[in-house]
Amino acid sequence: MMGAWRAMTARDLDAVSAISDGVHGRYTEPRAIYAERLALYPAGCLVWEREGALAGYLVSHPWRTGEPPALGIPLGGLPATPDSYYLHDLALLPSARGTGAGTAAVRIVVECAQAAGFEDIFLVAVGGADRFWMRQGFAVVPDGGIAEVLRNAYGPGAVYMRRHI
């Protein structure tokens, strides 16, 4: 693999923000969002380090089913009674793709969800990423009334997905 996932630290936030800008384009989030997620749930925040440089990151945390957080908006806190685990973001620079980093990240998310006592992981796939997520065991969740929320927050083509573990 020639790289490894490790815990994200505050020192990584500038690089995480730069990776987000490069990978997500107009759907990138401000650095403050990553700082908040790290502060709220450090166990779900990791970075992919390869040859001394960061080439990816992972942000995940407990959440509520059917209520994907809007992009770029602080959470203000985690829910008092979460019922699922949410994979907020996985971003890999082109240099990290094809290394197994994405599949390893999904294994980590499954382990985090299980350790926190959850049986379901949810995410919002954008930009055609649903094909990658399907290969990782996720399935599209029927609308459930959130299609408009997805379009408004994540743009056209956003897909709400679930993996039962």
pLDDT of residue 143: 67
pLDDT of residue 128: 85
Cβ neighbours of 62 (radius 10 Å): 21
Give the number of domains in the chain. 1
Token pair 């599209």: residue: 140
Q: Determine the Cα–Cα distance for residues 28 and 21; give it in Å rounded to an integer.
A: 5
pLDDT of residue 27: 82
Read off the pLDDT of residues 38-60 as tens digits, 9 standing for 90 and up.
Answer: 999 999 999 999 888 999 999 99
Question: Which helix (H) or strand (E) covers residue 33, if one does?
Answer: helix 31-40
User: Crossing angle for the helix pair 31-40 and 13-24, nearest 10 degrees?
Assistant: 120
pLDDT of residue 11: 98
90 with 127: CB under 8 angstroms? no
- Kindly give the parts of the chain with pLDDT less than 70: 1, 143-145, 147-149, 151
* CATH code for the domain of 130: 3.40.630.30
Q: Sign of the CA dihedral 84, 26, 91, 11?
A: negative
pLDDT of residue 56: 97
Four-point Cα dihedral 79, 24, 3, 10, nearest 10? -50
- Give me the percent of the chain exceeding a pLDDT of 70: 95
pLDDT of residue 89: 95
Cα–Cα distances (Å) from 150 to 92, 100, 147, in that order, read 22, 28, 5
Segments forming the whole domain that contains residue 57: 4-164
pLDDT of residue 136: 96
pLDDT of residue 108: 97
pLDDT of residue 120: 97
pLDDT of residue 158: 84
